[in-house]
């Protein structure tokens, strides 16, 4: 995998890091980065066995991602703006639909589309100095990368309205209290902590992890009975796998399982 605006590494344990690499712009997304993020996560949808868990972060210590690059957008025609946003729509859908679990490691400012990208991940770790905001209404637009959908699911609709309608930034501590992030990590521990969690996930049976992720996503999308019916279908997909047999055998033989993803 070779990219202009991303650094992507996947180890032998199938734990991967995706680093947005435009530090001179606090990792703001230009069109090229939007395309590359879209293509990466679409590729993982097609080939999920390439990775078992991913950590998404930004280059440097000041910015995770500050949204779309507004310098690039200056003077854009409506038609070009809409074309670019269609790429954003594909990108955010590819992140949310990715069967591989994604942990956002927020190392600095996560504004606008950057915060929406973090929300689209499965869960979030952040440094104490991280700042979050959905600033779109202060710029004459509104969140358009699933922010109005994912934020209420994380913090509740009343808190989400306050965040979106004011456009005011908030701290990592507030994000933790409101349930938007899972953990605050010291700056020199952020990636180590995120990668340790990713390794723990990657050590589990791949089919089980992917099926559980899909079932959990349904929990906020449908009524409980329908969600449970989906859970049972997802569960039955794991019963016929070699990994299910390996897990039981390893437990009884008091050894570490060797999962193959089948």
Residues 116, 42 share a domain:
yes
Domain membership flag for residue 259: no
Q: Which of 89, 136, 221, 233 is catalytic?
A: 136
Mean predicted confidence (pLDDT) in 186-204? 98
Q: Which of 35, 59, 116, 231 is catalytic?
A: 116
Domain membership flag for residue 257: no
Sign (positive/negative) of CA torsion 40, 45, 50, 52? positive
pLDDT for position 119: 98
Domain membership flag for residue 180: yes
Residues 39, 132 share a domain:
yes
Residues 197, 233 share a domain:
no
Neighbours of 200 (CB within 10 A): 11
DSSP-H helix ranges across 48-204: 70-73, 78-97, 113-120, 147-155, 157-166, 172-178, 190-202
Residue-range definition of the domain harbouring residue 238: 206-252
- CATH code of the domain in which 27 resides: 3.90.226.10
Domain membership flag for residue 261: no
Distance CA 191, CA 236 (A): 35
pLDDT for position 18: 98
Residues 176, 46 share a domain:
yes
pLDDT at 163 over 70: yes
pLDDT for position 1: 67
Annotated active-site residue 116? The verdict is: yes
- Element of type H or E holding 209: helix 206-218
* Nearest C-alpha neighbor of 64 from the set 103, 114, 125: 114
Residues 152, 233 share a domain:
no
Annotated active-site residue 186? The verdict is: no
Q: How many domains does the chain have?
A: 2
Q: How confident is the model at residue 2 (pLDDT cuts 50, 70, 90)?
A: confident
- CATH code of the domain in which 243 resides: 1.10.12
């Amino acid at each position: 995998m070779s990219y202009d605006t991303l650094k992507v590494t996947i180890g032998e344990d199938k734990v991967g890091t995706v680093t947005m690499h435009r530090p001179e712009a606090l990792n703001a997304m230009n069109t090229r980065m939007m395309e590359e993020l879209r293509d990466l996560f679409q590729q993982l949808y097609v080939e999920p066995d390439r990775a078992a868990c991913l950590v998404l972060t930004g280059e440097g210590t000041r910015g995770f991602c500050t949204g779309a690059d507004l310098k690039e957008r200056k003077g854009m025609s409506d038609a070009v703006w809409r074309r670019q946003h269609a790429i954003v729509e594909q990108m955010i859908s590819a992140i949310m639909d990715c069967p591989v679990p994604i942990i956002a490691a927020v190392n600095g400012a996560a504004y606008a589309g950057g915060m929406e990208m973090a929300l689209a991940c499965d869960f979030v770790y952040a440094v104490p100095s991280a700042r979050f905001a959905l600033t779109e209404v202060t710029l004459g637009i509104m969140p358009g990368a699933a922010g109005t959908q994912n934020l209420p699911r994380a913090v509740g609709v009343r808190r989400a309205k306050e965040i979106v309608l004011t456009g005011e930034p908030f701290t990592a501590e507030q994000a933790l209290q409101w349930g938007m992030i899972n953990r605050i990590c010291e700056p020199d521990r952020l990636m180590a902590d995120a990668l340790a969690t990713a390794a723990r996930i990657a050590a589990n049976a791949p089919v089980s992890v992917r099926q559980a992720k899909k079932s959990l996503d349904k929990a906020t999308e449908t009524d409980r009975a329908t969600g449970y019916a989906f859970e049972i279908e997802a569960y039955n997909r794991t019963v016929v796998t070699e990994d299910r047999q390996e897990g039981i055998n390893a437990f009884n033989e008091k050894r570490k399982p060797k999962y193959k993803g089948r």
